[in-house]
Amino acid sequence: QVQVVESGGGLVQAGGSLRLSCTASGFSFDHYAMGWFRQAPGKGREGVSCISWSGGSTLYVDSVKGRFTISRDNAKNTLYLQMNSLKPEDTAMYYCAADSIPGRLCDLASSRYDSWGQGTQVTVSS
């Protein structure tokens, strides 16, 4: 049974940091690109960052470049998102997801991903 579980969200002041984690099970984690997505109230789901199966290739949405860092530990089946210099506009539910096809470079289109977690809430106060 494929499962991804996010953790690490919380309430933080603007300028602060959080580290999100996503633990995967039930599939060959090291074969799949992984992505972080977010959805704020009243808005659509947005691709934040993704990483290839090997960790050698990453992508970021422009609004988080230079502030967020995605990484993965294939030995631990875990995906991370280090978020620094957080802004109130980063407030959202954050989700991790696994690509639907193994071996691809990552992409921020949510339609490519078919294994989603339940999300972890990130709230940034001003």
The string of pLDDT tens digits covering residues 61-118 is 999 999 999 999 999 999 999 999 999 999 999 999 999 999 998 999 999 998 899 9
Q: What is the mean pLDDT of the chain?
A: 97
84: CB partners within 8 A, 6+ apart: 17, 67, 68, 69
Cα 114–chain centre separation = 14
Q: Which of 46, 74, 41 is nearest to 60 (CA)?
A: 46
Cα-only R_g, the chain: 13
Asked whether 120 and 93 are in contact (CB, 8 A), the reply is yes
